Amino acid sequence: MKKVSIVVPCYNEEENVVPLSAAIIEEFRTQLPSYDYEIIFIDNDSKDQTRTLLRKLCAENPKIKAIFNAKNFGQFNSPYYGLLQATGDCGILLAADFQDPVEMIHKFVHGWEEGYKIVIGIKTKSKESKLMYFLRGCYYKTIKKLSDVEQIEQFTGFGLYDKKFIRVLKELDDPTPFLRGVVAELGFRRKEIPYTQPQRRAGKTSNNWYRLFDAAMLSITSYTKAGIRVATILGMISCCVSVLVAIIYLILKLLNWDNFQAGMTPILIAVCLLGSVQIFFIGMIGEYILGINSRVMRRPLVVEEERINFTEKDENNSQQEELKTEKGNE
């Protein structure tokens, strides 16, 4: 019997973890009765009753497992790490807030059985804020044009990943992984299934403008050279224009020494313009350096505080996979 691992990252999801686990179990009971399953909740240091409820779920059902992070390790590291802990023949990454429809699970599995190693969900519509959906669409189109590698529009990471691809993720050993980019750049042949993203079932999203900006900058600095190239080109253009203007002013002054009064206004405008451009691109360069620094420091993806319902067999399988990865790298 094939085993499917459902990986659910969560943070302050006390209103959702219980009904979500019930919905997943019902999906397997009705749509995938011939498959075994495990549900792995990876909690990113929730401050509400999420962990208490997860302990109860794990006590009631040994197929439900939990990993408690020692602190909040961000919106990218925690889901990525959780996917690496999957012990099934494939892993499905699923949001805890029901915005990733549970009924897509059997569609993903059927696509996987067709031979695809990656089956992902693509948002074609969304019941979230129209403004947010529009802005996301603009971002995806922009990054797609700027990126050096293929980018997938309206893809959040929601999808099924075969254990062979999960092994590739382990081999990457990237301390700041961006799963959406990795799937596009290094993924196997994939199947894309459209879906309508529903509204959040309950609770308040932890995403804010800063987190969205952080995600955008990670993708830009990881998969584009646009920021550095634009800075270089604008720097050259500004230099040429400045030299040209300086020559023109010098000529005008020499021809009309007594009558030509340039004043301070042009100088102030030039200083403000060049200063603002410099500050913007210093910040952009800083983002690239920050990304390099995070990778050079090679910190762990997450630090576990506790894990529940992981058996010794699971640990041995994980160690064997790591040994295979190390031998492959040698």
Q: Are residues 182 and 321 in the same domain?
A: yes
Number of domains in the chain: 2
Q: Are residues 167 and 65 in the same domain?
A: yes
Indicate whether 214 belongs to any domain: no
Query: Does residue 88 lie within any of the structural domains?
Result: yes
Distance CA 310, CA 315 (A): 7
What band does 320 get if pLDDT is binned at 50, 70 and 90?
low
pLDDT band, residue 123 (cuts 50/70/90) = confident
37 and 93 part of one domain: yes
Q: How far apart are CA 106 and CA 28, in angstroms?
A: 8
DSSP 20-87: HHHHHHHHHHHH-TT-EEEEEEEE---SSSHHHHHHHHHHH-TTEEEEEESS--HHHHHHHHHHHT--
The answer to whether residues 141 and 163 belong to one domain is: yes
pLDDT tens-digit series, residues 4-28: 999 999 999 999 999 999 999 999 9
**Same domain, yes or no, for 165 and 236?**
no
In-domain check, residue 42 = yes
- Domain span at 86: 3-206+302-329
Q: State whether 306 and 290 are in the same domain.
A: no
Q: Are residues 254 and 141 in the same domain?
A: no
pTM: 0.72
Decide if 221 is inside a domain. no
- Check residue 159 and give its pLDDT: 94
Specify the pLDDT at position 27.
95
Q: Is residue 216 part of a domain?
A: no
Using DSSP, state whether 208 is helix, strand or coil. coil
Question: Residue 220 falls within a domain, yes or no?
Answer: no
Is there a domain that residue 233 lies in?
yes
Same domain, 70 and 102: yes
